[in-house]
Amino acid sequence: MGAPECGEQIERLTLSGLRDLGEVREAVRAVLVGCAQNDVIDSVLVADELCTLACEYGNLPAGVCLIRSFHRPSLRVAVTAPHLSIPMSPSDSRTSQFVLASCATDWGIGNEGARMTLWAYVQVRQDVFADNSYAFTNSGSGHRSS
C-alpha cells in the first residue's frame, strides 16, 4: 500500500474474476481506515459495482486502482480492462447507474487504446471516532468495544 507522503494513498490489485471481489472490498476498507462508516460503505458499493461490471462485460484480468486523496477528501476507484463494453440499454444498467448516482460524486468511462477504464470518486470524511474502536447497537448508541 502506498504511503500518504504526497497527499495520496494508492492500492493496486488485479481482478481475475468475481472471486476477487472480497479482496477488493477489504482493500477499500483498509485504505479508508479512520473514515466515516457511511462513506466506507458507499466506497465499497462503488468498487464492487465497477468490478462486477468489469467481470461481466470486460476481458479479464482487469486492473483495480484505489487512490485516497487527503487534499480532496475522496477515494478514486478505477477499473481498467481490455475490450470493456458497458450495456447502453437502461434496463441492463439500471442498478449500476443507481449505485453510482447515489454513492459517487462523479463517475465515468474512459479509454486508453483498446483498454477501457470505469472510474468513480466517492467523498470520504474522517470519522469522529477515528480509532475505529466504537461499535453501534441497534438503539444507535455507541459503546467502546473491548
Task: Specify the pTM.
Answer: 0.79
Taking CA atoms, 49 is separated from 43, 79, 101, in Å, by 10, 10, 12
User: 12-44: per-residue pLDDT in tens?
Assistant: 999 999 999 999 999 999 999 999 999 999 999
Q: Which residue has the higher pLDDT, 107 or 114?
A: 107
Task: Return d(Cα 48, Cα 20) in angstroms, integer.
Answer: 10
Cβ atoms 18, 55 nearer than 8 A? yes
pLDDT score recorded for residue 90: 52
